[in-house]
Structure 1
Amino acid sequence: MSLLAGMDTRTPSPPAPEEFASRFATALDDFFRTRPRLDAADELAGEIHALVLAGGKRIRPAFAWWGWRAAGGQVRGDAADATVRALVALELLQCCALVHDDVMDRSATRRGRPAVHEAFAARHRRSRWAGSARHHGDCAAILVGDLALAWADDALVTAGLPAAALARAWRPWQEMRIEMMAGQHLDLLATARREGSLEAALRVAALKTAAYTVERPLHLGAALAGAPADVVECLRVFGRDVGVAFQLRDDLIGMVGDSAVTGKPVGGDLREGKRTPLMAIGIARATAAGEHGTARMLARCLGGAPVTDETVAAVRAALVDLGAVDAVEEHIDVLAASGLAALDRADIDEEARTHLKHLAAKAVHRHV
């Protein structure tokens, strides 16, 4: 049973419409339109453009914008326009992460279309080029991700920010890039070392997802607005908790979601041997209950054993029966409550507080 039983944790009614989404879409289009052309890089640039415009929740720039607004940033004016342009960097950083992550995880699809490495490999096979199609696809995807990362820096430093604002933003921007890569490295190590503890899985979630999805975007936006240290700290605590909850929700969706809606096959983490908190809880509960056969089945999936659709269905049923799914739902509720409490302590604009609560609810209680 949820620790927040009796509390209303449903997504609240959205606040009054706000034009950030359309302004951000325009800024994205302007950025791509003004990129220098180089024939040799056109295919790489095309993949970035297609992936960024193929969908996505735009959650990182949205949190950053409301971090800016929370700290007193205005809706209109040159500073606001420059801030919107700067936040394009977050979507490009996300593009880098997705492309490289798909190579590492051998994911075949992304946002309902072939993953970048698969698209390049398919072209290699159709063209009957020399060498390995898989190797060619991986190498091209690495370059696409590298270009997206370079463009992310370009977007930030060419946005027209005042020098003082750019200087304030540079530290969270640096930290965000490092934390994202460190989290990915920890994820790789956890798989290689067969680390299955809940503590290790949550550490990966905190670095790989929470930091660059919610915490640092909020920090970036607040820094651009010149927020005082106490406000930044409250926003970061809020962002850290909501960001981990966001990853836990992703883990649940990956096991019990609808692939037709998510654009990725159900059980992808299982097939990749990912040590998610959901699996860590499942193995621990099966072991504690003396269900050693179930514990071995779950552990085998993380140890490289073949995972079929039937395996995914069996694992999903086991995680539900063991109460692991409910336990993750409970932890999401606890993190959401903790994050909202930190947000309530912050001395920030009330309209921004309302929007941040709505964004948090959408992030942690979504179904896709």
Structure 2
Amino acid sequence: MRYTRYGLVMTENLVATPPAAGTINIPGLVDEVLADFLATSTATLAAWDSALCWLADAARDAVLGGGKRLRPTFAYWGWRGVAGPAAPVDTVLPALAALEFLHAFALVHDDVMDASATRRGRPTTHRAFANLHTGQGWRGEADRFGDGAAILVGDLCLVWADQLIAASALPGHRLAAARACYDRMRLEAIAGQFLDLLGGAQPAWTVERSLLTIRLKTASYTTVRPLHYGAALAGAPPGDSLHRAYTGYGLAVGEAFQLRDDLLGLTGDPAETGKPVGDDSAGHKATVVSQLARSLAEGPDGDPTPSQTAAAVRRSGAVDRVEEMIAERVAAALAALDQTPIHPDARAALTDLAKIAAWRSA
């Protein structure tokens, strides 16, 4: 694989800006790895049958169609906190990039379960396939075809994640240790996704259960396990003081990240978030903010519109309370970092990432 060196300055939306001396652009490097891998892997599918180009193209779009590259970034700093700034990143880049395939798998399946129409300002994978079905005049139900095709796109991304991890030039024992973190990450994400689904179906739910869902669905595979994964790639043993500090930091940042996501779903600008306001409330998701709103005040009568629901949530005081919860978690994350035996530049980067994840606008 080929890699080009970039500079990196993080903005509030975790995107790369022009090069700066002495820095490294993990999102840019990850994108190169993904593009190289996808060029070969999609060609393999196309060689079997030209119709598989639709599947391959959808998977490529799901992976390369935008995103913050947050999970590989946390994994990189988890690795660098142990390995130090002089360690060559090339050896771990495929393993870092694999987390984007896992993320694409989760998003594509999540959109099917939520019946979401847009993602990153474009039709979701299942909607794009439904539109293709209609446009081609095929038999059967377009929506059913779209859902089935999207599930297969997610499955394909999960397979490609496994292949990319195996491509890392690392000793077998390190890959095995990292793989254990990765497997736990997948298990927790699926468990959290089921609780998320269940929370929209069961009438009785609690703030505590919503927080558990966040820890499993979001914090695990966004922050906690990527940090553990990166540390394992560097050879750090599980269960030591570093592992515990990464856990405390990662749980706090992961919860803050999802709490911000919940607020953006109600109050964010669709031009920035890429999703309509009110998707979660329209789907009756049991988010922390919605649970707090129910506990603080009566909701609107009847079947409210998303804007009416958002207004009711604001009146309840739930938004202010969630903002307080986010600030509390950032403080807890930074306190955990103070106890973390890692290289100073990794500590500084993780401090910035905590603030970016908590107070982003998209």
Q: TM-score, normalised by structure 2?
A: 0.89
Cα distance in 2 for partners of 1:171, 1:252 equals 33
User: Which residue identity does 1:331 align to in structure 2?
Assistant: M
What is aligned with 1:37?
44
CA contact (8 A) 1:237 1:342 kept: yes
CA contact (8 A) 1:83 1:161 kept: yes
Deviations 1:233-252 (A, max 9, x none): 11111001100110000000
What is aligned with 1:58?
69
Q: CA deviation at 1:161?
A: 2.1
Q: Number of paired residues?
A: 338
Which among 319, 323, 326 is matched to residue 320 of structure 2?
326
- Stretches of structure 1 that go unaligned for 5 or more consecutive residues are 1-10, 287-293
Paired residue secondary structure (1:274) = coil
Which among 122, 126, 129 is matched to residue 131 of structure 2?
122
Q: CA deviation at 1:165?
A: 1.1
Point out the more displaced range, 347-356 or 192-201.
192-201
Cα distance in 2 for partners of 1:48, 1:84 equals 20
Instruction: Indicate the percent of aligned positions where both proteins have the same amino acid.
Output: 46
Q: CA deviation at 1:75?
A: 4.6
Cα distance in 1 for partners of 2:86, 2:221 equals 24
Q: CA deviation at 1:51?
A: 2.0
What is aligned with 2:30?
24
User: Which residue identity does 1:38 align to in structure 2?
Assistant: L
Cα distance in 1 for partners of 2:316, 2:199 equals 23
CA contact (8 A) 1:190 1:196 kept: yes
Cα distance in 1 for partners of 2:25, 2:213 equals 34
Instruction: Map 1:1-368; keep pairs closer than 5 Å.
Output: 17-35=23-41, 37-39=44-46, 40=49, 41-77=52-88, 80-228=89-237, 229-286=240-297, 294-295=298-299, 297=301, 305=303, 307=304, 311-368=305-362
CA contact (8 A) 2:299 2:309 kept: no
Paired residue secondary structure (1:65) = helix
User: Which residue identity does 2:45 align to in structure 1?
Assistant: L
CA contact (8 A) 1:195 1:275 kept: no
| Alpha carbons of structure 1 residues 75 and 269: separation in structure 2 relative to 1, 3 Å | farther
CA contact (8 A) 1:241 1:336 kept: yes
- Stretches of structure 2 that go unaligned for 5 or more consecutive residues are 1-11
CA contact (8 A) 2:121 2:274 kept: yes
Cα distance in 1 for partners of 2:341, 2:91 equals 24
User: Which residue identity does 1:29 align to in structure 2?
Assistant: A
Q: CA deviation at 1:266?
A: 0.3
Cα distance in 1 for partners of 2:199, 2:219 equals 18
Q: CA deviation at 1:296?
A: 5.7
Q: CA deviation at 1:74?
A: 4.5
Cα distance in 2 for partners of 1:336, 1:99 equals 29
CA contact (8 A) 1:242 1:335 kept: yes
Q: CA deviation at 1:230?
A: 1.2
Cα distance in 2 for partners of 1:367, 1:266 equals 13
Cα distance in 2 for partners of 1:128, 1:174 equals 41
Paired residue secondary structure (1:71) = helix
What is aligned with 2:8?
none
Deviations 1:54-108 (A, max 9, x none): 110100000000000011245543xx21211111110000000010000000001
CA contact (8 A) 1:52 1:91 kept: yes
Cα distance in 1 for partners of 2:214, 2:252 equals 10
Q: CA deviation at 1:166?
A: 0.2
User: Which residue identity does 1:251 align to in structure 2?
Assistant: D
Q: CA deviation at 1:49?
A: 1.0
Point out the more displaced range, 33-42 or 46-55.
33-42
Cα distance in 2 for partners of 1:195, 1:182 equals 19
Q: CA deviation at 1:340?
A: 1.2
Cα distance in 2 for partners of 1:75, 1:144 equals 38
CA contact (8 A) 2:272 2:361 kept: no
Cα distance in 2 for partners of 1:108, 1:235 equals 36
CA contact (8 A) 1:100 1:145 kept: yes
